[in-house]
Structure 1
């Protein structure tokens, strides 16, 4: 009888031990999965910010890609992208630049005074620079808020030596 009781106790302890091992394994796997999920979400957010900032700037360049309309410039001592456009005989300038930790966009009439703080916040970045490395090639460098340095070269399709006014007059007929 005593041996039978010992056998039942050993059986119960074995089942409890097996259950504890299973529970600890489950908790361990869940914590690993949660860690992997957190890293994936973080990397996705970083990639989103990097790619979205480049896609946004590239799309703005493509929209303004007319001869002489795109300039690597400075705005209050900061590197900026200057995009010129004429709408109903009124000249407008769109500025893309970094201010207060954000990539900002500011569209103003050509004769309007500027204020960096007036720009619309697009995405968080720590630095934004634009340079012309060849006649039809811009180098855009964005230092993201998380510390990554990303560069992109954008080829312009339009002739850089024709003024925007000449392009608007001659380009309108070509677009139709």
Structure 2
């Protein structure tokens, strides 16, 4: 059994039989710090729940810069949606920022569970909707907000991340240089 995951599902009002069925098909895996879960060019074949630790989704551009699309701390899900849905090579990689324990479901198993457990289907739809809303907000911030506004939003949205992430990763997530991030943080300290 997977206590962290089961507690997470109970908080989402999932009944015990559904929790047992979902949990029984999960494969637990441990990742070391900086270990790659999967790399760009591979096909994403699993839904992944982070039971403990911290993962991140990133892309390396042609000029060698890292762009971070998403952080996935404990009690969150991660995957490359397009690669998973279409079973095509991914354009992103997912790695562990710190030692992590994850639960994985093969695509066929998860789709079968979604079809057979209405609670899971609703749960997944709600999660997709929240992620879509946040992604839209992030795109709008990226297009129209100043670096200071993007950083302030990051601090407000993810206050617990600041102590767990190196500045270079926060900068890569915000789409700003480390120099700009340092200047913003220094200006905040002066206030």
Whether these two folds match at TM > 0.5 is no
TM-score (norm 1): 0.25
Q: Which entry has the higher C-alpha Rg, 1 or 2?
A: 1
> Greater share of strand residues, 1 or 2?
1
Normalised by the length of structure 2, the TM-score is 0.24
